[in-house]
Structure formats: C-alpha cells, structure tokens
Amino acid sequence: MKIKPEQLQGQLKKSASPVYLVTGDEPLLIEESCDQIRAALLQQGFSEREVLHVDGSFNWNYLIECSQALSLFAERKLIELRLGSQKISKQSSEIIRQYLENPSPDNVLLIIADKLDGASKKSAWFKAIDKTGAIVEIWPVDIAQLPGWLKQRASAEGLQLDNDAVQLLTERLEGNLLAAKQELAKLALLYPGETLNADKVIDAVSDSSRYDIYGLSDAALQGQPQRCIKIMQVIRQEGTEAAIVLWALSREARSLMALQYGLQKGVPFDTLCQQQRIWGKRKQWAKRAAQKLPSASLQTIIEQCSEADHIIKGARQGDVWVLLSQICLRLSGHPLALQTAV
C-alpha cells in the first residue's frame, strides 16, 4: 500500500504494518518519516531495534536469522534495513519475499532506501512490500511549494513569517530543507513567538553567513572592500567553489543593472525590488549601490564575470580568485583598492 508522508501518522495510529519502505531523495523528510515510525512502534511495545547496513558484502540470510532470533530483553523488535543506493539482486529479492510470506507479529521491518528507479518498482520485492505493508515515497519540495513549507514549519516552531521573510528564506536556502530546518530553529530561539519580517531574518542569517557568499554579497552592496577581501579569503580556504562565488557576484551585478535601467524608465523602486527578489534592508543597500556605481562599471563587472566563467571552464588561462576579488571590489565601488587588497 502506497501512502503519502502526511498520511503516515494516521496509518501508524491504526496498527503497525509488518513492513515499511521509506524511499526518496530528500534526506530530512526521509529521516522524519522514519522517526515517526520508530516512535509509534516504540509506543506499541517494539522496544528493541536492530540496524542492518546493506553493502556489497551483506549476507541477506542474516535478515531471516535476525527475524527468528529470540530476544532476552524485549518481546517485540524493529528490524531496520538501511539499503541506501544498493540494488536488490534476484537472490536478495527472493529473501525479502520469503520474509514477507509469513512475517512474525513480533517484528516490524523498516527498509530505508534512496530514490528507486522504475525497474526496482516493478520488481518482486517491491510488489511484495506493496501488498503486505506500506510504502512511503518522499518527493523533494519544489521551489513553488517551498514558501508554504517554510510557513508551516515556522508555525510549528511558534513563529510567523511575513511574505518578504518567506521570499528571502526561499531564495537563500534554495531547497535545502535541512538548512531550512536549522535556520527556523535558530530564528525560534532568537525571536520566540514573534512575527518576522525580512530585516529580522537578514540580521539572524548575517550572524551565521558573515563568511559565506551571502555575507560577501552584502559586504559588496554596502561598499566594504576590506570586508569583501577578508570574506573572500575565508570562503576560499574553506573550499567554496569559485563557480558559486561567481554566481553570487554576477547576480548582484545584474540586479543592480536592472535597478538602474528600471529607475531610468520610471518604474517604482519597490516594484523593481520585487522583480529582482531584493528584500528588507537589502533594498536600501541595493538602491545606494545602484545610484553610486556608474553603468559603465557594472558593464565591466559583467564582462569580468564572463571572463571568470571561461577560466573556471578551462577555456582561458588565469587566476580566477584574483579576478573574483577584482569583481567584488569593483562591485563595492572601490576598484582602486586592487593593488593592496589582492
């Protein structure tokens, strides 16, 4: 039986299935579904838990032995089979099918697997689980669903997020649900029970992103060349890929060019910020930068970004980190600081 993750809690309250298969490619949601299963089974008396890690040398016959072994400490047991990305052979498929032909009421089998391909879903072992137990397929939260997911998670943490705060988090977290969970937990500690706007989120995020690409972008927008170079040095030492830094800097340059062009055409500033996904206090930073930087300077930055892209891809020779430092300094409005800063 296939069930959705949101249906799992209700199914667990009715009765325990002899087997659960939790599969997908979103680690946080997989782990949370497994936690629900473990907690519900513990309440039902499955107080022993045995974890089996499947690798190339795993002895599948041990699954049968494990299910038949009597425990000295508990009457009921959860057998957790961590499959990961391992493929199920015909022999191991037969063992799973054999196990499910007559599952012990004192055992529950929990299989945890990465996202399964079409062939696996047509296999005998998958069909046996579908017939005998419950299959929970985890799908990633796409970018359109992420704002709603963030609001729901924030509410569970006792927080309320306004629309700007949700959009800011959506942009910065880019679908990383584990990072989202950690960020919301931190916000709940900093602002318990409050309604958060983009400025509060920026303040909280900036504490942890002082030395990441977001801190780098913020320093450039605020015209802080020394801080730009310090952050650049730290993120390079930490192993951040040059392509990620280039993405952040080129995005800021293009946003500023769009602001300049829109303001010249008489488009309201708030409308432009919404189009460019600029929120909270970053709106004023971006406005000052767009007013301060000549359009010719921004055009030079775009050309330098193109050059850096060619270096990263191996189509041109050069030190990409020196070039990225030049781009960042020019974006901060201090291109003359190059000689001493790089």
Could you tell me the CATH number of the domain that includes residue 134? 3.40.50.300
| Residue 72 scores a pLDDT above 60 | no
Q: Are residues 196 and 248 in the same domain?
A: no
Closest CA to 276 of 338, 219, 221, 336: 221
Lowest mean pLDDT, pick from 198-202, 263-267, 297-301: 198-202
* Distance between first and last Cα of the chain: 61
Q: What is the mean pLDDT of residues 4-21?
A: 89
- Between strands 48-53 and 134-138, the pairing is unpaired
Position 177 scores a pLDDT of 85
Q: Are residues 36 and 154 in the same domain?
A: no
Position 86 scores a pLDDT of 86
Q: How far is CA 44 from the centre of its chain?
A: 33
Please report, for the domain that includes residue 272, its CATH number. Answer: 1.20.272.10
Q: Are residues 265 and 173 in the same domain?
A: no
Q: Are residues 152 and 203 in the same domain?
A: yes
Q: How far is CA 97 from the centre of its chain?
A: 35
**At CB < 8 A and 24+ separation, what contacts does 235-244 make?**
235/211, 236/321, 238/211, 240/212, 240/213, 242/308, 242/312, 242/320, 242/321, 242/324, 243/312, 244/213
Biggest distance spanned by C-alpha atoms of the chain? 79
Q: Are residues 277 and 180 in the same domain?
A: no
Q: Are residues 183 and 269 in the same domain?
A: no
Q: Are 278 and 255 in contact (CB under 8 A)?
A: yes
Q: Are 95 and 63 in contact (CB under 8 A)?
A: yes
Q: What is the mean pLDDT of residues 306-327?
A: 93
Q: What is the mean pLDDT of residues 208-212?
A: 60
| Residue 209 scores a pLDDT above 60 | no
Q: What is the mean pLDDT of residues 53-62?
A: 86
Return the amino acid letter for 195.
T
| Domain end among 106, 121, 138 | 138
Q: Are 326 and 342 in contact (CB under 8 A)?
A: yes
Instruction: Give the Cα separation of 72 and 95 in Å (integer).
Output: 26
Q: Helices in 25-111 by DSSP H: which ranges?
A: 27-43, 61-68, 90-101
Q: Are residues 224 and 283 in the same domain?
A: yes
Summarised one tens digit per residue, pLDDT across range 89-111 is: 888 999 998 888 888 888 999 99
| Residue 183 scores a pLDDT above 90 | no
Which range of residues forms the domain containing residue 7? Answer: 2-138
Q: Are residues 203 and 227 in the same domain?
A: no
Q: Are residues 232 and 189 in the same domain?
A: no
Summarised one tens digit per residue, pLDDT across range 116-147 is: 988 899 999 999 999 999 999 998 888 788 89
Position 85 scores a pLDDT of 84
Q: Are 48 and 77 in contact (CB under 8 A)?
A: yes
Please report, for the domain that includes residue 181, its CATH number. Answer: 1.10.8.60
| Residue 341 scores a pLDDT above 50 | no
| Domain end among 116, 138, 160 | 138
Name 311's Cβ contacts closer than 8 Å, sequence gap at least 6.
317, 318, 319, 320, 323
Q: Are residues 76 and 155 in the same domain?
A: no
Q: Are residues 122 and 151 in the same domain?
A: no
Position 13 scores a pLDDT of 86
| Domain end among 193, 208, 223 | 208
What is the DSSP secondary-structure string of 244-305?
HHHHHHHHHHHHHHHHHHHHHTT--HHHHHHHTT--TTHHHHHHHHHHHS-HHHHHHHHHHH
| Residue 340 scores a pLDDT above 50 | no
Q: Structurally, how many domains does the chain consist of?
A: 3
Q: Are residues 119 and 192 in the same domain?
A: no
